[in-house]
Structure 1
Amino acid sequence: MYAFLWMLGAITSFCLLAIGGRELDSDLPITPMLFFRSLISLAVISLVLLLIREKSLISVKRLPLHGFRNLVHFAGQYCWFLAMSLLPLAEVFALEFTVPLWTALIAALVLKERITLRKSAAIILGISGVLVIVQPGAAMFEAGALIALAAAVCYALAHTAVKSLSSTEKPVAILFYMSLLQLPLALCFALPQWQWPHGIQWLWLTLMGVAALSAHYCISRAMLSAEVTTVVTLDFLRLPLIALLGGLLYQEAVGLSLFIGAALMLAGNLINLAKPAGQKPRQADTQQTPAPD
Structure 2
Amino acid sequence: MHAPASPFKAIAWMIGSLLSFAAMAVSVRELTGEMHAFQMLFIRSGLGVLILLPILTRRTQHGSGWRQIRPTYLAGHGLRNVIHFTGQVLWIFGIALLPLATVMAIEFTSPLFAGALAVLFLGERMNRGRVAAFALGFLGILVIVRPGLADVGEGVILMLVCALFFGATGATTKWLTRRETALAITFYMVLMQAVLGAAASLFVWQPVLWEHAPWLALMAITGLSAHYCLTSALAAADATFIMPLDFLRLPVMALAGFLLYAEPFELWTLLGAAIIFSGNYFSLRYEHKRPRPEMPSATPPPGSGPLG
Query: How many Å apart are 1:71 and its aligned residue?
Result: 0.2
Match of 2:247 among 228, 236, 242: 236
Number of the residue aligned with 1:5: 12
Number of the residue aligned with 1:78: 89
Structure 1 residue ranges without an equivalent (≥5)? none
Distance 2:252 2:293 in 1: 28
Distance 1:242 1:274 in 2: 26
Aligned to 1:288, the other structure's residue is in SS state: coil
RMSD across aligned positions (CA): 1.6
| C-alpha contact (below 8 Å) 1:223/1:286 kept by paired residues | no
> Which deviates more from structure 2 when the two are superposed, residues 116-125 or residues 132-141?
132-141
Match of 2:68 among 48, 53, 57: 57
Distance 1:3 1:70 in 2: 29
Q: Does 1:149 align with 2:160?
A: yes
Q: Does 1:32 align with 2:43?
A: no
- State the identity %: 37
Distance 2:234 2:13 in 1: 9
Change (3 A) 1:131 1:287: closer
Task: Name the amino acid aligned to 1:200.
Answer: E
Number of the residue aligned with 2:22: 15
Number of the residue aligned with 1:214: 225
Task: Name the amino acid aligned to 1:125.
Answer: L
Change (3 A) 1:248 1:280: farther
Aligned to 1:28, the other structure's residue is in SS state: coil
> Which deviates more from structure 2 when the two are superposed, residues 271-280 or residues 20-29?
271-280
Query: How many Å apart are 1:280 and its aligned residue?
Result: 7.5
Q: Does 1:43 align with 2:50?
A: yes
Change (3 A) 1:278 1:114: closer
Structure 2 residue ranges without an equivalent (≥5)? 1-7
The count of corresponding residues between Structure 1 and Structure 2 is 293
Q: TM-score, normalised by structure 1?
A: 0.96
Distance 1:280 1:181 in 2: 34
> Which deviates more from structure 2 when the two are superposed, residues 77-86 or residues 42-51?
42-51
Distance 1:75 1:138 in 2: 30
Deviation digits for residues 130-168 of structure 1 (CA, Å, limit 9, x no counterpart): 111111127463100010111111011111001000011
Q: TM-score, normalised by structure 2?
A: 0.91
| C-alpha contact (below 8 Å) 1:61/1:168 kept by paired residues | no
| C-alpha contact (below 8 Å) 2:110/2:163 kept by paired residues | yes
Change (3 A) 1:192 1:115: same
| C-alpha contact (below 8 Å) 2:118/2:298 kept by paired residues | no
Number of the residue aligned with 1:91: 102
